[in-house]
Amino acid sequence: RESGVAPARARRVSPPTRRFARFAPFPTTPKRTSPRATSASDAADDGTRKKADPSSSSSSRAASTSADRSDSVRVESLTVAQLKAVLRSRGARVGGNKSELVSRVAAGGAVTADALVSSAGATSRLEPRAAAARRRSSSHNSKKPPPVMRWEVTDPPLPPRAPPLASDVPALRVVSWNVNGIRALLQKDPDVLDRVAREENADVFVLQETKIQAKQVDEIDARVLAEYPHRIWNCSTARLGYSGTALFSREAPLNAWTDPFVATEKRFVATEKRSSRQTSQTSDDEKLELELKKNECAFKHEGRVVVAEFPRVFVVGAYVPNSGAELARLGARTNAWDPSAARYLRALEAKKPVVYCGDLNVAARDVDVWGNHRANAKSAGFTKEEREAFAKHYVGLGGGSENDENVLDE
């Protein structure tokens, strides 16, 4: 007005304040005036001031510098979310604790209130896009067909195999596999059993831990190993969907059995004491009978053994009981199952050779477990009791007795 030029619009000068204090809580941003209108009015005001006092340019620059300094934000006062937003707007890494974020932001220069607001807006705009991308990715992955499993061993490499026998030498090729749930296996790869049997040229295919019930046998039986017409399924009835074994063969077996022996032990100390307290008036023979009944039920009806007799050999497939995470079945395993199974195998071996295969749930030697042997000595399958029982009953002449023939007769 002193220069005779009217300003574009009246502007009331407000006392200097810290602008970033208006933008709280973060990242909510206040409504701002149109950039175009603001820039036009500011340009008019700047032109007016230039015409009014051309000699005040140096003082204006000094004032703007001081205003920029007052407009800068203390980095230490920012929250973690604000620090990450600033770093993200600069294209820098956003990982780390708050002190690392503060040092990274400070190294990149001062942070102004406008930069803080713009970085918050950019973050809020990116969040819906990232969520949409995640939804598209999850929906795309859900439509993918199940992957086909590839059975390739690369580390360590497969051990060298013996050369094939001559064509005129009678032989029986047996493949054994713990499938850990045949339904889950077929869901991942419906043709895996047929493919493995074909690649290995198996004459007999034995499975353990099928985990199916008797009512599901027909459905699964129609889907697997069509080239093996002779099959034996042994499902657990003591606990549904648990354990279970199966045997498939191209040649018709002469005989077949499931769970042909009962794992019994003559005495359990705990059972003996309990029986003596409960039946104080009974005789010693009656006490022993109670103990045998108690121990006969240890692994009964769990579908753990399948046996097929062929002209030249017996094939016995077994899923040996696991002692459990707390070794709750260790005593029954080593004192009942192992002796009973060994007696049965020796009785069969007296008639013709025996192929004993399956999941034996034991690492008999140190080389069978990679390292950490002292800690693993308390784990099922590698305890001192299990290893000693395996060496005693299965290796060499262990497990034989003069009553082996009676085992088969029973």
Residue-wise pLDDT tens digits, 275-296:
444 444 444 445 544 444 544 5
Q: Which two tokens stand for residue 156?
A: 């360590």
What CA–CA distances, in Å, run from 131 to 123, 135, 251? Answer: 12, 6, 59
Helices 284-296 and 269-278, interaxial angle, to 10°? 130
Active site residue 319: yes
Q: Which member of 71, 203, 228, 319 is catalytic? A: 319
The mean per-residue pLDDT over the stretch 210-221 comes to 95
What CA–CA distances, in Å, run from 346 to 260, 312, 404? Answer: 13, 16, 7
Which pLDDT does position 145 carry in this prediction?
65
Structure pTM?
0.57
Residue-wise pLDDT tens digits, 161-195:
788 888 888 889 999 999 999 999 999 999 999 99
Reported as a pLDDT band with limits 50, 70 and 90, residue 76 is confident
String of DSSP letters for 25-68: STT-------HHHHHHHHHHHHHHHHHH-GGGHHHHHHHHHHHH
Which pLDDT does position 111 carry in this prediction?
79
Q: Is the pLDDT of residue 250 over 70?
A: yes
**Host H or E run for residue 142:** helix 113-142
Q: Which member of 71, 203, 259, 359 is catalytic? A: 359
Q: Is the pLDDT of residue 255 over 80?
A: yes
Query: Among 207-211, 252-256, 270-274, 332-336, which stretch is predicted with the lowest mean pLDDT?
Result: 270-274
CA distance 261 to 276: 28
174-266+286-394 topology per CATH = Deoxyribonuclease I; Chain A (3.60.10)
Residue-wise pLDDT tens digits, 299-326:
888 999 999 999 999 999 999 999 998 8
Active site residue 359: yes
Report yes or no: 205 and 193 within 8 Å, Cβ to Cβ.
Answer: yes
Q: Which residues are annotated as a binding site for Mg(2+)?
A: 178, 209, 359, 361
CA distance 332 to 320: 12
Domain ranges of the chain: 174-266+286-394
The residues, any chain, with a CB within 8 Å of residue 360's CB and separated by 6 or more, are 318, 320, 390
Which pLDDT does position 54 carry in this prediction?
47
Dihedral angle over CA of 93, 96, 101, 104, nearest 10? -50
The mean per-residue pLDDT over the stretch 205-212 comes to 97
Q: Which residues are annotated as a binding site?
A: 178, 209, 359, 361
Which pLDDT does position 16 carry in this prediction?
54
The neighbouring-strand residues paired with 357 are 317
The residues, any chain, with a CB within 8 Å of residue 400's CB and separated by 6 or more, are 342, 343, 346
Residue-wise pLDDT tens digits, 126-159:
455 555 666 666 655 556 666 666 666 556 666 7
